[in-house]
């Protein structure tokens, strides 16, 4: 079965709308665990980017793979920074970590 470009576009638009509806109905208290879960998925993306870079056979593939690894790394690190800041909001002001 061949999926056309229009079908891919329809799937992406549908996924965006479904994702927005799901996330908008998540209670505020559950956003931090949701962020941690998405960081796990971003870690898998990083592993995939590293594997793709390892199988690159020419300079263009290596460049794209390197950019993918850098972007995935920034995404993972940024996600953990945001999660840490969200968790800090739940801590008492004078308490220990």
| Cβ pair 2, 49 in contact under 8 A | no
In this prediction, residue 1 has a pLDDT band, given cuts at 50, 70 and 90, of low
pLDDT of 4 > 90? The answer is no
Domains of the chain, by residue range, sit at 28-89
* pLDDT on residue 36: 75
pLDDT of residue 96: 59
Q: What SS3 class is residue 56?
A: coil
- Asked if residues 65 and 52 have their Cβ atoms less than 8 Å apart, the reply is yes
* Residue 58 binned pLDDT confidence (cut-offs 50, 70, 90): very high
Residue 80's pLDDT band, with cuts at 50, 70 and 90, is confident
Task: Say yes or no to pLDDT of 83 above 60.
Answer: yes
pTM of the predicted model as reported, rounded to 2 decimal places: 0.63
CB 46 within 8 A of CB 38: no
Query: Pick the residue with more confidence: 17 or 88?
Result: 17
**Nearest partner of 39 among 83, 70, 71, judged by Cα:** 83
Between CA 94 and CA 78 the distance in angstroms is 26
């Amino acid at each position: 079965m061949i999926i056309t470009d229009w079908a891919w576009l329809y799937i992406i638009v549908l996924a965006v709308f479904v994702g927005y509806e799901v996330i908008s109905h998540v209670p505020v208290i559950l956003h931090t665990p949701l962020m941690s879960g998405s960081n796990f998925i971003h870690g898998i993306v990083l592993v995939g980017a590293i594997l793709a870079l390892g199988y690159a056979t020419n300079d263009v593939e290596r460049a794209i793979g390197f950019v993918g690894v850098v972007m995935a790394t920034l995404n993972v690190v940024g996600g953990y920074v945001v999660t840490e800041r969200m968790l800090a909001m739940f801590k008492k002001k004078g308490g220990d970590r």
